[in-house]
């Protein structure tokens, strides 16, 4: 009987020690906690040239081989040195557009056309070019259907931008020789 009492006492003691180790201060062999994750909404747009932020470009029609009596070919004034880069994270299945607008009207008869070429790099829903647009002070879609994506950054990344001057020959009489500047503004919309 004494042996049985010792065995029972040992079992109870072991159970008590084990139970105390498992439930000390509410701790168990597992622990958990919550991790909050926030993915921000992102809408960034940039224009790059030669691996740096874009600066000024100049458009001047080529008159080097112009013959007397010929109209100046304004479409010879083109520039393809700029690249449109962007990063976007949207909510749900929303999409964005990138618009372009100029700061002031051009001389009567002169127009500035802009084309965002096909996407050259990037991942995600990078959108697509809206085709060539004639820039005005009213913002117009240049790239549409952009979701969560990135185009990479720098020359050769994203969309190559092509600027071209155009002239309505019926308004040739309005032309004046001068230098002037306009600003093109790109906006990524929600």
CA-to-CA separations, 154 to 53, 151, 180, in angstroms, rounded: 9, 9, 28
Phi, psi of 172 (to 5 degrees): -55, -30
30, part of any domain: no
Q: What is the pLDDT of residue 6?
A: 47
In a domain, 79, yes or no: yes
Does residue 2 belong to any structural domain of this protein? no
Q: What is the mean pLDDT of residues 26-46?
A: 94
pLDDT digits (tens, 9 = 90+) for 56-65: 899 999 999 9
H-helix segments, the chain:
2-23
Number of separate domains in the chain: 1
- Flag whether 11 is in a domain: no
Per-residue pLDDT tens digits for 87-115: 999 999 899 999 999 999 988 889 999 99
Q: Does some domain include residue 10?
A: no
Domain, as residue range, for 59: 42-188
Specify if 19 maps to a domain: no
Sequence-separated (6 or more) residues with CB below 8 Å from residue 160: 80, 82, 83, 84, 116, 117, 120
In a domain, 29, yes or no: no
pLDDT tens digits, one per residue of 130-182: 999 999 999 999 999 999 999 999 999 999 999 999 999 888 888 888 888 99
Distance CA 158, CA 119 (A): 5
> What span, in angstroms and rounded, lies between the C-alpha atoms of 183 and 47?
13
**Would 163 be classed as within a structural domain?**
yes
């Amino acid at each position: 009987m004494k042996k049985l009492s010792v065995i029972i006492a040992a079992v109870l003691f072991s159970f008590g020690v084990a139970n105390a180790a498992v439930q000390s201060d509410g701790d168990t062999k597992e622990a958990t906690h919550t991790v909050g994750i926030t993915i921000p909404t992102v809408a960034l747009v940039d224009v790059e040239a030669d691996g740096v932020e874009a600066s000024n470009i100049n458009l001047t029609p080529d008159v080097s081989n112009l013959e007397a009596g010929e109209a100046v070919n304004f479409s010879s004034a083109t520039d393809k040195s700029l690249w449109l880069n962007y990063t976007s994270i949207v909510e749900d299945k929303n999409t964005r557009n990138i618009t372009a607008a100029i700061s002031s009207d051009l001389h009567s008869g002169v127009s500035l056309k802009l084309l965002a070429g096909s996407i050259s790099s990037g991942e995600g829903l990078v959108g697509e070019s809206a085709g060539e647009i004639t820039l005005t002070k009213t913002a117009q879609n240049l790239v549409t259907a952009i979701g969560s994506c990135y185009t990479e950054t720098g020359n050769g990344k994203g969309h190559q931008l092509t600027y071209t001057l155009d002239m309505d020959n019926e308004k040739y009489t309005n032309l004046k020789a001068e230098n002037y500047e306009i600003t093109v503004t790109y906006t990524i919309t929600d």
